[in-house]
Structure 1
Amino acid sequence: MKNARKLCVDILNTVFSNEGYSNIILRNELKKNSFNDKDKALITEIVYGTIKYKYTIDKILNSFLKKGIESLEPYVLNILRSAIYQIRYLDKVPTFAAVNEAVEIAKKYSSVSASKLVNGVLRNYIRDSEKTYYNKNNLVESLCFNYSFEKWLVNLFMKQYGGKITEEILSGLNERPVTSVRVNPLKINYDEAYEELERLGYDIEEGYVCPEAIIINKGKNIEDNQLFTEGKITVQDESAMLVAPALGFCEELKIFDLCSAPGGKSTHISELSNDKAQIIAFDIHENKLSLIKENAFRLGINNILCRQMDASTFNEDLKDIADAVLIDVPCSGLGIIKKKPEIKYTKNNKALEDIIQIQRKIMLNSIKYVKPNGTVIYSTCTLNKKENMENINWLIENYPNISIEPIYFGNLPNLIYENGMVTILPNKYMDGFFIAKLKRNW
């Protein structure tokens, strides 16, 4: 079996070389190696924490390396990153243990000289713990360092939301995410599911905003739970759980979900319609349609038809057919950074601009697919206003026969309502998200 901290470095190496998402790589590695629950928890904490605080950690390391972090081989750099994270952010990990493990990993898997460098840098950091790494009189630099976000992203949020809400966003995106599950009323009622989870030893509470939600504070992997395997519950963030209810009454309706995989929102619509709505779930990747089918089968849902289609390319055969269309469009993902922290470093301003053109093509197609007086639900898991309300405003300016149908999910501190649309700020319970409801008036 691999050493736990060695595996952390291996995973970080893979993630920072842009070879995959941290959640997928981590899950696969933990499956391949037989670690106990304590070690799994430590590996998960170190991996996610090091990725989350990479910007801050690199600022620290650069101050102790004459030639900067660029002078280090990636493996040694990731040994240092993971060790600094443990020393700075994990109270339960003894400093000497973090240093000794880092030195040994460097010696065994890199070189003796690398182990000496690692030892020297970490000892210097510990000795100079009061050192200042940024201009404390500069708000942007302070936010960047304290919350570990790059300047372009902090500046984007500052410009769009102002200082107070920007700090709320950064704090929310650094929260440790909880697991929330959606109770499937086709198979079990809410109280029965709640009581069964308690009986199985889970530390749970009622959902933050959604009546179908149960929050899992502590317990074993929920996907290994009998309630999950029997389709009585399914994992979904509460922000995403708000999309299907925004449709309103949906029994007997024909509904298109244009960007459906893995099918969380399609299956939620099915549950809300008592499995009576006619749902066609589309995705650009044919291989991902199997995920929708698997989820529908597990949940006991029979009314979802899956088709492969590029939502950004207009399909004449679908014109004026649907009663409602859901478009959870591809986006920058800035609202789900707490679950995929590498998004902090893999996105940039150009990537954000490029995705907007795809989003607008999907929006225009969706409007053509609904019948007159039909409904379109537009949602994203980003907080970039250009991908959210600015897209909606652009659509209405160019197509005045489209109107916004106001939506309201209650008076909660992280929900911002503006012109009938809702922006969901990230917190412990919810991802950053945006939802708008549109009506075709011709």
Structure 2
Amino acid sequence: MPQDNKRNNTGRPAAGKTVYNTIAKSTRQLALEAMVSIMENGEYCDKVLHSILEKYPLEQRDRAFLMRLVEGTVERCIELDYVIDRYSKLPVAKQKPMVREILRLAVYQIMYMDQVPDSAACNEAVKLACTNHLIPLKGFVNGVLRNVVRFYEDTPYPKAKDEVRHLSVWYSMPEWIVTRFIDQYGFEKTEAILQNFLQEDRGISLRCNLSRASKDEITTSLQNQGVKVESGKLFPVSLHIKNYGRLGDLEAFKNGWVQVQDESSLIVGAAAPVDESSVVIDVCAAPGGKSIHLADKMNGEGLIRACDLTKDKVSLIRQNLIRTGFHNVKLKKHDAMEFLPEWEKTADVVIADLPCSGLGVIGHKADIKYKTKLQDIKTLAQQQKKILQTVYRYVKPGGILLYSTCTIAPEENEQQAEWIRQNLPFEPVSLEDIVPAAAKCETAGNGYIQILPDLAGGDGFFLAAFRRKELGDNGKDGY
């Protein structure tokens, strides 16, 4: 099946059209080093790229090329490996790690970066082989890539009747995840989710800090700096931006008027019944988006205790607080599994946005789909229960527990909400009044909602809301 037809028939986005006339060899070398760190050594893509860009002050064009090349190659790795295996005598799995990553980067350029000439992709890959002490293998690299250039448009992909394999290769998703999604949502909804994960030029979502500036002021400021701005699809306080260069150069960001936060996660702040006298505890708060959302909602008054496990995570929250200027958020490095007696029954609202498998955020963190394994979901579900058994005790009688994740795994979401209902002194709180119209669902009245990634073009997200039962006549939490 011709590659161009494959893209068009499935609605898959075509390659970007940014022109790169000449790309410094060093930029491709940095891309190769990044790929080895991410795909061979298990490091996180965003951290690797951040480290490289901090160390090497690339010009904007090279910076954009590096990010596009690395993120795109990681995102489409399964499809790239499928194509390489068709035209290589040695399977990808048996190749030397450095060779494997050189081929992946080159094939991504051939298939998805139309303004990079095929000859340049091949020649630069051979140069990388030589530069990285792989001279005896330069002929192998050249031969595989020449075959790919000649034949990839006619590569026969798995047939649609083999649903799992078809979607796995077509959308570069591990088969075990595809199988789970099909079992949960059926073939068509699964394809819509996978398609959303691969959308090009996603941009980012910003939440407006309305106690700092109006949405109109923020929008005007962004547009004056040449940023493309669209209103959110779920919440009016959200904006989607593209063509923004460096985020830190935007006046609205530097002034603390906005916070980077995916739109689907705004449902946590929307569900929190807070005012200027409220006490809130956010037990796994980094990088601080939800705490700052509530700080803004509380007009900088009341008290928010924001915690996380490590100094680095607490530092991320602190940086955002300094930028946005909220002083009602108090930080603490703390393990959520450890109970703090002095916090018992002190909080009007506890936010438990807990560590999870992250299957809802694959769209902008593609490496998650390779790092997460089936057993991880089960392990994380048990960890979540342990944290919940600790942090629920911070909620006052009559107070609210908001449990959330950025995944779409039932073991961590719906099943966890049912476990809370059956095992902790809480009753569900209806979300019908705060769920955006586009996300209305039958379960909102039962106190939980699963937002799927295809809903607003953002992340998958889950929220369950509970109220702690009042004290009974015996002085204990009633059931």
When the two structures are superposed, what TM-score results if normalisation uses the length of structure 1?
0.94
CA distance in 1, matches of 2:94, 2:209: 53
Letter in 2 for 1:424: I
1:233-272 superposed Cα distances (whole Å, 9 cap, x missing partner): 2222112222111113432111110101221111110001
Aligned to 2:10: none
Aligned to 2:121: 98
CA distance in 2, matches of 1:41, 1:246: 38
8 Å CA contact 1:65–1:121 kept in 2: the answer is: yes
CA distance in 2, matches of 1:416, 1:178: 27
Which of these residues, 208, 216, 230, is aligned with residue 183 of structure 1? Answer: 208
- Residue pairs, 1:324-339, within 5 angstroms: 324-339=349-364
Letter in 2 for 1:275: G
Which of these residues, 294, 299, 305, is aligned with residue 324 of structure 2? Answer: 299
8 Å CA contact 1:134–1:142 kept in 2: the answer is: yes
CA distance in 1, matches of 2:365, 2:426: 38
Letter in 2 for 1:33: Y
- Residue pairs, 1:46-57, within 5 angstroms: 46-57=69-80
8 Å CA contact 2:362–2:369 kept in 1: the answer is: yes
Instruction: Quote the offset at 1:135 in angstroms.
Output: 4.2
Query: CA 1:336–1:415 in 2, change beyond 3 Å: closer, same or farther?
Result: farther
CA distance in 1, matches of 2:168, 2:334: 40
Q: Mark the runs of 5 or more structure 1 residues left unpaired by the alignment.
A: none
Highest RCO, 1 vs 2 (Cα 8 Å, sep ≥ 6)? 1
Q: Aligned pair 1:422/2:446, yes or no?
A: no
- Residue pairs, 1:213-362, within 5 angstroms: 213-362=238-387
Q: Secondary structure at the match of 1:63?
A: helix
Q: Secondary structure at the match of 1:255?
A: strand
* Range moving further from structure 2, 238-247 or 327-336: 238-247
Which of these residues, 437, 460, 465, is aligned with residue 437 of structure 1? Answer: 465
8 Å CA contact 1:313–1:361 kept in 2: the answer is: no
Instruction: Quote the offset at 1:66 in angstroms.
Output: 2.9
8 Å CA contact 1:366–1:376 kept in 2: the answer is: no
Query: CA 1:417–1:333 in 2, change beyond 3 Å: closer, same or farther?
Result: farther
- Residue pairs, 1:369-408, within 5 angstroms: 369-399=394-424, 401-407=426-432, 408=434
* Range moving further from structure 2, 1-10 or 267-276: 1-10
* Range moving further from structure 2, 107-116 or 319-328: 107-116
Q: Aligned pair 1:62/2:85, yes or no?
A: yes
- How many residue pairs align between the two structures? 441
CA distance in 2, matches of 1:111, 1:327: 49
8 Å CA contact 1:253–1:278 kept in 2: the answer is: yes
Letter in 2 for 1:105: L
CA distance in 2, matches of 1:317, 1:192: 42
1:73-110 superposed Cα distances (whole Å, 9 cap, x missing partner): 11111010011111122222221221121122112323
1:299-353 superposed Cα distances (whole Å, 9 cap, x missing partner): 1111111122211233333221111100110001111112211111111011111
Which of these residues, 45, 65, 73, is aligned with residue 42 of structure 1? Answer: 65
CA distance in 1, matches of 2:28, 2:47: 18
* Range moving further from structure 2, 279-288 or 44-53: 279-288
Query: CA 1:358–1:119 in 2, change beyond 3 Å: closer, same or farther?
Result: same
When the two structures are superposed, what TM-score results if normalisation uses the length of structure 2?
0.87
Letter in 1 for 2:258: I
Aligned to 1:203: 228
Letter in 2 for 1:437: A
Letter in 1 for 2:183: K
Which of these residues, 4, 8, 22, is aligned with residue 45 of structure 2? Answer: 22
8 Å CA contact 2:221–2:251 kept in 1: the answer is: no
Identity of aligned residues (%): 34
Letter in 2 for 1:204: V
1:192-222 superposed Cα distances (whole Å, 9 cap, x missing partner): 1111111122111222222222221212212
Aligned to 1:164: 188
Aligned to 2:477: none
Q: Secondary structure at the match of 1:274?
A: coil
Letter in 2 for 1:433: F
Q: Secondary structure at the match of 1:327?
A: strand
* Range moving further from structure 2, 381-390 or 92-101: 92-101
Aligned to 1:409: 435
1:47-84 superposed Cα distances (whole Å, 9 cap, x missing partner): 11110111111122223333312332111110100111
Instruction: Quote the offset at 1:394 in angstroms.
Output: 1.7
Instruction: Quote the offset at 1:375 in angstroms.
Output: 0.4
8 Å CA contact 1:416–1:424 kept in 2: the answer is: no
Which of these residues, 122, 127, 131, is aligned with residue 108 of structure 1? Answer: 131
Q: Aligned pair 1:134/2:158, yes or no?
A: yes
Letter in 1 for 2:215: Y
Query: CA 1:420–1:168 in 2, change beyond 3 Å: closer, same or farther?
Result: farther
CA distance in 2, matches of 1:199, 1:310: 43
Instruction: Quote the offset at 1:162 in angstroms.
Output: 1.7
CA distance in 2, matches of 1:423, 1:173: 17
CA distance in 1, matches of 2:186, 2:161: 17
Which of these residues, 15, 36, 55, is aligned with residue 13 of structure 1? Answer: 36
Instruction: Quote the offset at 1:38 in angstroms.
Output: 2.0
8 Å CA contact 2:274–2:294 kept in 1: the answer is: no
CA distance in 1, matches of 2:64, 2:311: 35
8 Å CA contact 2:222–2:251 kept in 1: the answer is: no
For the aligned residue pairs, the C-alpha RMSD in angstroms reads 1.9
Instruction: Quote the offset at 1:31 in angstroms.
Output: 2.8
Q: Aligned pair 1:87/2:92, yes or no?
A: no
Query: CA 1:266–1:100 in 2, change beyond 3 Å: closer, same or farther?
Result: same
Q: Mark the runs of 5 or more structure 2 residues left unpaired by the alignment.
A: 1-23, 471-479
8 Å CA contact 1:186–1:300 kept in 2: the answer is: no
* Range moving further from structure 2, 165-174 or 60-69: 60-69
8 Å CA contact 2:206–2:261 kept in 1: the answer is: yes
Q: Secondary structure at the match of 1:335?
A: coil
CA distance in 1, matches of 2:205, 2:107: 31
